[in-house]
Structure 1
Amino acid sequence: MELEELEIREHEQPTKFSVALMAGGIAGTAVDVALFPIDTVKTRLQSEVGFWKAGGFRGIYSGLASAAIGSAPNAAIFFCTYEVLKQGIGSNVPSAYHPMVHMIAASAGEVAACVVRVPVEVVKQRAQANRELSSLQVLRMTVGQEGFRGLYRGYLTTVMREIPFSFIQMPLWELGKKVWSKQKKSAVDPWEAAVCGALAGGFSAAVTTPLDVAKTRIMLAKAGSETASSGLTLIIRNVWRQEGLKGLFAGVIPRTMWISIGGCIFFGMYEKSKSILT
C-alpha cells in the first residue's frame, strides 16, 4: 500500500474524541508513575539549593501521589485537543503543510493541558525537593501561604517551555511514523510509534533543558522572593551569569533519558490503547 493510500485511510478513520481521551489518560499515567524516580533526580539537580540539600537519592518517590492523580487528565486533555485540531485543520490543507498543523495542534494541546499540569507540577516538585513533606502537606501549605494562585506559579513559564518542546517533538514523531510507514508500506505498529516517540522526545528534551531549569527554579522559589516573581528570560540570564552553561543544562542527562524512555512508553501506550479501544 502506498503512503498516499495510507494517509487517505487514516483520514477516513480519525481518532474519536472518547478514544483519544481514554488512550491519553492511560498513556500519561503509565509513563509518569513508571519513570517518577528519574524525574525526582532531575528536579533535585535543577534545584537552587543543590542536589544533595534537596534530598539526594533519599525519598525518591516523594510527590508520587500528586503525579499519579494529575497524569491521566493532563495527558487526556492534551491528546483530545491535539487530535481534534490535527484532524480539523489537517483535512483542509495540503499534506506539505501538515508539520505546521502538528505544531499548532500540539501548542494548543499544551496550553490546555497546563491548566491541570501546572498545579500538579508545583505540588510534585516541591514534594520532590522536600522529602519531609507529603503531597497533601505541600498542597495545604501552598494554598495556605499563597492562595490558589500559588498553584499556578510558573504557568506562563511552563507554557513557554512546553510549546517549543511540542513544536519539535510532535512533528518529529509524526514524520518518523510517516517515513517508517513508507519504508514498510503499511501503517506503523505501536512499538514502532514508540521508537519514534523516544527519538523525538529525547532530542526535544535536550534542546529545551534551559527552559525546564527556569521553570523549576520559579516553582521551587520561596513565595515573595525575586525568583518567584521573575520571568523566564531573567531566570535564564541569572543562571547563565552565576552557573554558566552547566547551570542552564543542569539535569539534561536524566531529563533526556526520562523523556526518551517516557516518549517510548507514552506514545507506545497511546497507540496500543487506541488500537485496543477501536
Structure 2
Amino acid sequence: MDVMEAWVTGLAGGCAGMSVDVALFPLDTVKTRLQSEVGFVQSGGFRGIYSGLSSVIAGSFPTAGLFFFTYEGVKVVGREFLREDLEPVLHMTAASSGEMMACLLRVPVEVIKQRAQTTRFSSSEVLRKTLTMEGMRGLYRGYVSTVLRDIPFSFVQYPLWEYLKKTWSSIQGSPLDPWQSSICGATAGCIAAGITTPLDVAKTRIMLAETGSALSTGSITFVLKTVHRESGVRGLFAGVVPRMLWITLGGAVFLGVYDKSKLVISSILIEPG
C-alpha cells in the first residue's frame, strides 16, 4: 500500500466512522443507559439523548481512519505470506490489529461519551473531572475490556463481511456496488453484535463504575459474574436489541460508506494523476 492509497484508506474510514456515529448516536445512548448499573431511568431515560455527542464528533473520524489504515495495511502485507485458502485468518488478524490500534483513540472517547450519556455533565465537564480525579489513566479505564470485546466482534464481522461480498460478487459475476456491500456489512454486524453483547455489558460497567470500586478494576470475569449474579442471563444481554439494531444499521452505513468513499476519494486523489 503506497502513500496515496494509505491516505485514501484513512480518509474513507474516517468518513465512514463519522457518518455512522453521528447518525445512530441516539440508539447508542439508549443501549448505554440500559447497560448502566443504576438502570435506564436513573441514567437519564430518553432525556438528553445526544449527551456526549461532541466527544464522538471529535474522535470518530481519526479512530475509524486509523482502524482501516491498519486493517488494509495488514491485509496487503499478509497476502505475501499466506495462502489464499487462509484468507479468513488474514482478515481476522487484520481486524484485530486494527481494533487494537483504534482503541488507543476509541477508549478515551468512549469513556467521556458514556459518562456524559449517563450523567448531567457535558463532555468537556466529564473530561475535566476525569483528568482531575483519575489522570490520563482514567481515560483508558476499560481499554483491555474494550479490546477483548472488539477483537471477538471483529473475528466474526470482518471475515463474514469479506466472505459475503466475495460470494455475492462471484454469483453475479462482477464487483459489488456500495449498497450491496452495505447489506453484507449489516448482516455481518448484526450477527457479531448479538454474540458479543455480554462483553459490551462488561465494558460499559467498567467504564461507568465509581473510582476505586470493585467493578472499576477492569476484570471482565469479575464483572460478568457480578452481572450474572444480580440479573442472570438477561442482565448479560442488557441492551442487546438496541445494540444489534445500532450495529446492523451501523454496519450498513459504516461499511457501505467506506467502500463508496474509497471510490470517490480515489477518483479525486489518484485517477487525475
Q: What is the TM-score with the length of structure 1 in the denominator?
A: 0.94
- Counterpart in the other structure of 1:127: 116
- Counterpart in the other structure of 1:187: 175
User: Contact 2:130/2:139 (CA < 8 Å) preserved in 1?
Assistant: yes
Where do residues 200-219 of structure 1 align in structure 2 (5 Å cutoff)?
Answer: 200-219=188-207
Encode CA deviations 1:161-198: one digit per residue, 9 max, x unaligned. Answer: 00000000000000010000001101111111100000
Alignment partners' CA distance in 2, 1:228 and 1:164: 22
What amino acid is the match of 2:17?
G
Where do residues 54-93 of structure 1 align in structure 2 (5 Å cutoff)?
Answer: 54-93=43-82
User: Contact 1:218/1:227 (CA < 8 Å) preserved in 2?
Assistant: yes
Encode CA deviations 1:33-66: one digit per residue, 9 max, x unaligned. Answer: 0000000000000000000000000000000000
- Match for residue 161 of structure 2 among 173, 197, 208: 173
- Counterpart in the other structure of 2:239: 251
Alignment partners' CA distance in 1, 2:6 and 2:85: 25
User: Contact 1:173/1:200 (CA < 8 Å) preserved in 2?
Assistant: yes
Encode CA deviations 1:223-255: one digit per residue, 9 max, x unaligned. Answer: 111110140111001111111011000000000
Q: Do residues 42 (structure 1) and 42 (structure 2) align?
A: no
Unaligned segments of structure 1, at least 5 residues: 1-11
Alignment partners' CA distance in 1, 2:170 and 2:241: 32
- Match for residue 219 of structure 2 among 207, 216, 231: 231
Alignment partners' CA distance in 2, 1:261 and 1:163: 20
User: Contact 2:75/2:90 (CA < 8 Å) preserved in 1?
Assistant: yes
Q: Note closer, same or farther for the CA distance 1:204–1:15 as it changes in structure 2 (3 Å cut).
A: farther
Alignment partners' CA distance in 2, 1:243 and 1:41: 19
- Displacement of 1:15 after TM fit? 8.8
User: Contact 1:82/1:108 (CA < 8 Å) preserved in 2?
Assistant: yes
What amino acid is the match of 2:49?
I
Unaligned segments of structure 2, at least 5 residues: 267-273
User: Contact 2:149/2:196 (CA < 8 Å) preserved in 1?
Assistant: yes
Alignment partners' CA distance in 2, 1:13 and 1:22: 14
Out of 84-93 and 23-32, give the one that drifted further: 84-93
How much is the aligned-residue C-alpha RMSD, in angstroms?
A: 1.4
Identity of aligned residues (%): 56
- Match for residue 126 of structure 2 among 135, 138, 148: 138
- Displacement of 1:93 after TM fit? 1.9
- Displacement of 1:200 after TM fit? 0.3
- Match for residue 256 of structure 2 among 259, 268, 275: 268
- Displacement of 1:91 after TM fit? 3.3
- Counterpart in the other structure of 1:5: none
Q: What is the TM-score with the length of structure 2 in the denominator?
A: 0.95
User: Contact 2:144/2:218 (CA < 8 Å) preserved in 1?
Assistant: no
Alignment partners' CA distance in 2, 1:219 and 1:193: 33
Number of residue pairs aligned between Structure 1 and Structure 2: 266
Q: Note closer, same or farther for the CA distance 1:137–1:234 as it changes in structure 2 (3 Å cut).
A: same
- Displacement of 1:215 after TM fit? 0.2
- Counterpart in the other structure of 1:52: 41
- Match for residue 162 of structure 1 among 135, 147, 150: 150
- Counterpart in the other structure of 1:220: 208
Alignment partners' CA distance in 2, 1:192 and 1:78: 22
- Counterpart in the other structure of 1:9: none
Alignment partners' CA distance in 1, 2:29 and 2:178: 28
Out of 228-237 and 99-108, give the one that drifted further: 228-237
- Counterpart in the other structure of 1:25: 14
User: Contact 2:12/2:258 (CA < 8 Å) preserved in 1?
Assistant: yes
User: Contact 2:141/2:218 (CA < 8 Å) preserved in 1?
Assistant: no
User: Contact 1:15/1:83 (CA < 8 Å) preserved in 2?
Assistant: no
Runs (4+) off by over 2 Å: 12-15
Match of 1:16, SS state, is helix
User: Contact 2:228/2:236 (CA < 8 Å) preserved in 1?
Assistant: yes
